[in-house]
Structure 1
Amino acid sequence: MSDFILEHELSIRLTAFFAVFAIMALWEIASPCRELRYPRTKRWLGNIGIVILNSLVLRLLFPAAAVGMAAFTTHAGWGVLNAIALPFWLSAFIAVLVMDMVIYLQHVMVHAIPMLWRLHRVHHADPDYDLTTGARFHPIEIILSMLIKIATIAALGPPVVAVVIFEVLLNGMAMFNHANIRLPSHLDRVLRWIIVTPDMHRVHHSVEPNETNSNFGFNLSLWDRMMGTYCQQPRLGQQGMDIGLSSFRDPQITTRLTGMLMIPFLQDKDVYSINKRSWKSDRNPGDKQP
């Protein structure tokens, strides 16, 4: 099975990507949550452009990528899971869970360290919020993320199948929880006890610093609840909240590929990174858990 997955890994991931993309895009048209500031064509050209650029960079620098590293660790016997005799299903489950937690911690890290926050601003500077926002990252951050992923796999020693499952989940959930879709409130309340919903993660893209520094998870909502970074709703509500970064409002910068690539090198006027925020003494209603 591992050999089959290694041989068809790219096809599996691309098929899943385009299937989820098509479903989310149609869902956004049928039941949008918010009115967009800019036409899709204006933003998608830049957002999809940076996705293509990142894909080319990763394939050039890391031809085998995460799945190749998992195959190597399995063959070499590296990693904790290869040193412990566990049923295959349990090893795969633990691997996906641990990698999900690492992504959460990585996300907190890029908000907490000013130099990394400058890179991550590319993601948050999107003036609108839809499924393409989920894949909008600076190439340097993408390279850093891949290095962290490879190091995690080397230490953990996960099955190849688990890494493919995780990669499909990572891409699919990023599009789902960034989608501009409307979920019934009762369904959202139930789902967010397990997974990160669009309404939950949209809070993270608020211009308000204490809301930006909440809801870091991408798949399981468990980590935000455990670590105290969970925020139920934005102070101004899903319709009233402002999306993006207050210091980056020029569409020439926020919607164009050339502008996005320059964001990390522009003057730092914002106060969004965790070590710069100042919390208000009174808790706002959005901080209460359901």
Structure 2
Amino acid sequence: MIEAGLGLYAIAIPAAMLALMLVTEWLRPRRDLVLGRYPRWRTHALFFLTNAVVGRILSMVVVVGSAAIWADTHDFGLFNRTDWPLWVVTLLAFILLDLAIWAQHHAMHRFRFLWRIHKVHHSDRDLDATTALRFHPLELIVSTLFKSACIALLGVPLMVALAFELWLNCNALFNHSNIRLPRKMDRIIRTILVTPDMHLVHHSTDVAEQNRNYGFALTWWDRLFGTYADESAMGRDHQEIGLAEAVDNRPANYLWSMKLPVT
């Protein structure tokens, strides 16, 4: 019963967040879309379904939940060797896991074989909440294995690990969304969390700008490690999105996107 309940929340909360972002994009869009919603949304839906199948198969080996249970059962990992209060463990787990995700994202851009699979995400010529669903299955596998290892090494409790996953997914839907925030609100939010305007810079066709703003949730790591950029050199209203080698309608095609890592 508990697992069924957790599974329901894991689906319902991101689904509600996605719906909220899509409605807000319609009411208050940040930019006009180059390729529009269709067939981009169809392609992103197919990525979601493909990754759901791959994730189901991967769960037979490891997922973040099973990594947390294994660490607890074997008294493995940092937090299982301490008697810190749950709120301290939760706070530290969120911060350290967020740093790990930042480092993984940085690696995706720095290592050629990882970039080949990650650039599928970057090939989208528009940015909206559905872009957060646009990840190649190979990246899903790499990401799941990496996060699972981090959770085991830290000894993150199961509920905290699952809460972090939900938090990360909701942040990704938010900062990929095409919503126009008031500038003052954007400035306040980005002192802690990555905003759509901040993440927009990372999706620039300019390679130098793709190597900025790696954060998926917290903005601190980009500021700390010198990879923070306030806005694109092209200007916040004129920035081009996607890959310089694919400024056409191919990224909206599912099969082209799936084959991109090997082409």
Inter-partner Cα distance in structure 2 for 1:157 and 1:55: 26
1:44-64 deviation per Cα after TM superposition (whole angstroms, max 9, x unaligned): 000111011011101112246
1:93-242 alignment runs, 5 A limit: 93-242=91-240
Match of 1:263 in 2: 260
Could you state the TM-score of these two structures normalised by the residue count of structure 1?
0.88
- Deviation of 1:161 after TM superposition, in Å, equals 1.4
Say which SS state the counterpart of residue 236 (structure 2) adopts. helix
- Deviation of 1:7 after TM superposition, in Å, equals 4.1
1:56 to 36, 47, 53: 53
Inter-partner Cα distance in structure 1 for 2:39 and 2:201: 24
Does the CA-based 8 Å contact 1:135-1:174 persist in structure 2?
no
Does the CA-based 8 Å contact 1:134-1:174 persist in structure 2?
yes
Inter-partner Cα distance in structure 2 for 1:7 and 1:81: 26
Inter-partner Cα distance in structure 1 for 2:98 and 2:4: 24
Does the CA-based 8 Å contact 2:120-2:134 persist in structure 1?
yes
Q: What is the percentage of aligned positions where both structures have the same residue?
A: 37
For the aligned residues, what is the CA RMSD?
Answer: 1.2
Q: How many residues align?
A: 262
1:264-279 alignment runs, 5 A limit: 264-266=261-263
Does the CA-based 8 Å contact 2:30-2:180 persist in structure 1?
yes
Say which SS state the counterpart of residue 240 (structure 1) adopts. coil
Match of 2:19 in 1: 22
- Deviation of 1:115 after TM superposition, in Å, equals 1.0
Code of the aligned partner of 1:238: R
Say which SS state the counterpart of residue 104 (structure 2) adopts. helix
- Deviation of 1:264 after TM superposition, in Å, equals 0.7
Could you state the TM-score of these two structures normalised by the residue count of structure 2?
0.97
Inter-partner Cα distance in structure 1 for 2:4 and 2:128: 32
Inter-partner Cα distance in structure 2 for 1:47 and 1:167: 20
Does the CA-based 8 Å contact 1:130-1:178 persist in structure 2?
yes
